[in-house]
Structure 1
């Protein structure tokens, strides 16, 4: 699995149409459509993008998405394509030519959550797999794209509360998970974080996705969510994660450098403690689509992200509507890596 910062062939998203994403009112639906469209249209200015659209959402998608966005018909339950889409990988075929692969995980509604439906989402990864022409790689493991992060050189971050969730993979051990990550995405070292952020561990969360806690910006270097307000329960969570990662090495034995990415000053919303996180950004060709929250820390976080990805423009979108529904910019996007030619540098910056 290449790093997200390596060149992309295109990006993938899904258009929101489910009631628990659109909400119970016209204004809530409008809020969701505006948020998803802002991300898709921003991406379309930097790389090709395809968006899966359920038949019930065609009219709204046509109205709001740029003409540069390809719309692909697909039945959907929800719109978190990071989690219901495939994880793309690159490998060599028997003739030693680079080929695109697509790992199709089992999706079961983030551990069979009682509020979730996944009849269509469980098959949604096949849409991008077939559309891209990738070699399909089926996995028996229940997993989501938001539950893993990689440096592109075989080091992976996961959380114990996701891959070892008994409602996802009952009876699986760390060794079982690691073996499957070796087989499917080329893992050479798996670093286990103990848990996720507090809000994400509650009823409408994923039970601990890594992509709002920490991400690799380059081999050996990470951005890590840093909750600075002692009244927020994530202070303990992030302190534990920073301590663990600061003592770790990557697959090549390189000590990890932890760069703290501050949490917003906003602590609560109508549902309780927020899990607003600037870590949940999407790196694409020549740019980064980052979260903003109309928060005093927005500018500082933008500067940290810009320093982490030199040479890329930073595009911010208001992510409050996304987080109110259970995720952020990274959660609704998925990258399809470019397949390198025999003479190309697969680690180069586009």
Structure 2
């Protein structure tokens, strides 16, 4: 097989999610847990307005999920521990009319003491079996939030993720790039030296690209922009912009880098926030955007996303409770591309 990962803007068959369950990530109090459940449900319902959504639900949460989710959301019972579907679920690829499901090794973002991942690590194969996809096994420890592609051979990676010694102690860029070529059809890897500051905390991913940069269309790159010098990501994003503006994609084009400004909030009770509008989900005919309770900043981001994904309707969902748990809307969703050899993007083409 010659596998190829389509751009996220290509037509989808559905979006996959995992319903939260009690544990360290969800929260310690009833109020915190209820806020987490509600945030996941809100993203599922917003997405279901555009395309089918299937939710894996732990047996312990079935009653709650059925109560909180509309009948539009398909529920599949499966054991769940972590519920960040982008990271532990399959990365879907195609080969003509065949759907493939890349089954990365998932070790809870580097096997930190607090993480529980063994049950959710089985979801890639469970989903592949459910949809009749061919499993594409990989010995690389990787997560779906650690990669972004343009559908034309370019993949974005981060030194501190794929080369993390807690993930892949014996990897180097050459080995990682070879695996990206084998599993995703990527012919050009663009490496970021690091991610956002908060992402290096205990509950972070150590630099996932999907909170920093994405490729809305070939040759263009949306980059998180922190304009306030008081935030440590001001220096980080300035450095990344300088690097990425000199990079080329698989077709040899120099990226046109578009800044996606951060909201005004700089800190929370735990330090500098990593609130980022880059962590959006592209769906059939729409974009599910992160909102942060700042009308002006949220509207500005929605306008930029509407410009970058023409023909799509941008819907903003409050993502603060998701970010409080270590990620955003893109992190809790995983798209399944439609398998049609002649499929063309629905909106988003430039």
Give TM-score scaled by structure 2 length. Answer: 0.96
Is 125-134 or 187-196 further displaced after alignment?
A: 125-134
Q: Match of 2:110, SS?
A: helix
Paired residues of 2:15 and 2:334 also in contact (CA < 8 A): yes
Q: Match of 1:13, SS?
A: strand
Q: What runs of 5+ residues in structure 2 fail to find an aligned partner? A: none
1:170-209 alignment to 2 at 5 Å?
Answer: 170-209=169-208
Paired residues of 1:204 and 1:326 also in contact (CA < 8 A): yes
CA separation in 2, counterparts of 1:249 and 1:237? 20
Once the 2 structures are TM-superposed, how far is the Cα of residue 349 of structure 1 from its aligned partner? 3.8
2:315 aligned with 1:315: yes
Once the 2 structures are TM-superposed, how far is the Cα of residue 345 of structure 1 from its aligned partner? 3.9
**Cα distance per residue 1:208-240 (max 9 Å; x no partner):** 000000000000011100000001000111111
Is 314-323 or 15-24 further displaced after alignment?
A: 15-24
Paired residues of 1:7 and 1:349 also in contact (CA < 8 A): no
2:133 aligned with 1:134: yes
Paired residues of 2:285 and 2:346 also in contact (CA < 8 A): no
Is 41-50 or 119-128 further displaced after alignment?
A: 119-128
**Corresponding residue of 2:335:** 335
Moved over 3 A (4+): 345-350
**Cα distance per residue 1:251-270 (max 9 Å; x no partner):** 01011100000011000011
2:217 aligned with 1:218: yes
Q: Match of 1:109, SS?
A: coil
**Corresponding residue of 1:154:** 153
**Corresponding residue of 1:87:** 91
**Cα distance per residue 1:61-97 (max 9 Å; x no partner):** 10111101000111011210000100000114xxxxx
Once the 2 structures are TM-superposed, how far is the Cα of residue 203 of structure 1 from its aligned partner? 1.1
CA separation in 2, counterparts of 1:110 and 1:126? 19
CA separation in 1, counterparts of 2:162 and 2:238? 22
**Cα distance per residue 1:153-194 (max 9 Å; x no partner):** 110001000000000001110000000000001001000000
RMSD over aligned CA atoms reads 1.1
CA separation in 2, counterparts of 1:24 and 1:112? 21
CA separation in 1, counterparts of 2:194 and 2:179? 20
Paired residues of 2:56 and 2:77 also in contact (CA < 8 A): yes
Give TM-score scaled by structure 1 length. Answer: 0.96
**Corresponding residue of 1:95:** none
**Cα distance per residue 1:98-148 (max 9 Å; x no partner):** 211000000001001111011202212112111111111000000000000
Once the 2 structures are TM-superposed, how far is the Cα of residue 347 of structure 1 from its aligned partner? 4.4
**Cα distance per residue 1:26-82 (max 9 Å; x no partner):** 111110011000000111111011000001111111011110100011101121000
**Corresponding residue of 2:52:** 48
CA separation in 1, counterparts of 2:104 and 2:299? 37
1:7-156 alignment to 2 at 5 Å?
Answer: 7-92=11-96, 98-156=97-155
CA separation in 2, counterparts of 1:34 and 1:89? 31
Once the 2 structures are TM-superposed, how far is the Cα of residue 348 of structure 1 from its aligned partner? 5.2
2:283 aligned with 1:284: yes
